[in-house]
Amino acid sequence: MSGLGAPHHPHRAEDLCAAGRELYERALREGRISTADAVGVPCLVDSGLLHPALDDPGRLEPVAPVVALHRLLRSAEGRIAEERRRETRLTEMFEPLIHLDGRRTESAADTPGLRLLDGNKRINSAITDAMAEASKEVLCIQPYTVRKESYARPLARQRDQALLDRGGRIRTIYQHTLRHAPDIIAYQEQLNGDHEVRTLDQVTDRLIVVDGRIAFLPANADGTLALEVRQPALLRHFVTTFDRLWHLATPMYPKAVQTPSLGGVTPRQRAIAALLTEGHTDAVIAERLGMNVRTARLHIAKLAATLGSESRAQLGYLIARSGVLDPDR
């Protein structure tokens, strides 16, 4: 092969040109080639795939592919390490200047450790990327929502199972209203590995914490915006909050534990009673407990019947007198 073909354009080692690959394969088969053959493809010598023969400077010998790969990877790692050192130096240089600057930005995109994600596709992509690097534990708080994105469930199952296969752990908190939801139960049964589910009457907004190093939470009411958090102080707060809720929650999977009724008042009715005494409307109660308004009103009616209430005003009085909200009961 000579250098009389199409002109050679500079490129990176990982983008080896067709002419270079052909000549390198020939060198591997024949053991060596003449320097004249490589004139038109200088990328092979530049990237270290060919080197002059010790006994004949007019010939070129191929470097073993394994050796070349290792050398190029080490070079790439060196560049990455240098970029990280550069990031550190830049951060150290600008941090005191940022503190001196009296102006503040409200944009998450300009805040260190925070990134605003727009749209379900981008949000799911970011979560998938974070899960792909996870190796320890993922914490999830999943309030009741009507899932419009039908593609999300299979994608979530795939990335959850991949983590479990790597020996990771998943802990999830749902609301009590989802304890018997067929799709929730089926989802857990389809996963194999170390995963547990517990439930509470009320939960926070949706939260996902991956390996304690990155978290995702909603940034607007309809969930089409999400905040990606890498700020250490916020992550510690999220993990601590989750652990405290986890210890208060009732096991659902793999072994369910039922909270007993007290004085004929079920745990769900006690949660409703607490919200009623705080003065919340039926709609707010339904939203907080993850149920529709009709179901909430049905539970309120049953609670009123159990306590012998004949009116909404009397119900609050009877709740207080009954002691159903006494933490010692």
**Under 8 Å CB-to-CB from 187, ≥6 apart: which residues?**
153, 157
> Which one-letter amino acid corresponds to residue 183?
D
The predicted structure's pLDDT at residue 168: 92
Q: Which two tokens stand for residue 7?
A: 């002109």
The predicted structure's pLDDT at residue 293: 80
Contact assessment for residue 188 and residue 182, using Cβ atoms and an 8 Å cutoff: no
| Coarse DSSP helix, strand, coil percentages of the chain, rounded to the nearest 5 percent | 50, 15, 35
Note the pLDDT tens digit of each residue in 20-39.
Answer: 888 889 989 998 898 888 88
Most confident residue range from 8-22, 175-189, 213-227: 213-227
Q: Is the pTM of this model over 0.85?
A: no
At residue 133, the 3 state secondary structure works out as coil
Residue 242: pLDDT band with limits 50, 70, 90? very high
Flag whether pLDDT at 237 surpasses 80: yes
**Helix pair angle (182-190, 152-165), 10° resolution:** 30
> Rounded to 5 degrees, what are φ and ψ at 215?
-135, 155
Note the pLDDT tens digit of each residue in 157-194.
Answer: 888 999 999 999 999 999 887 777 777 887 888 888 89
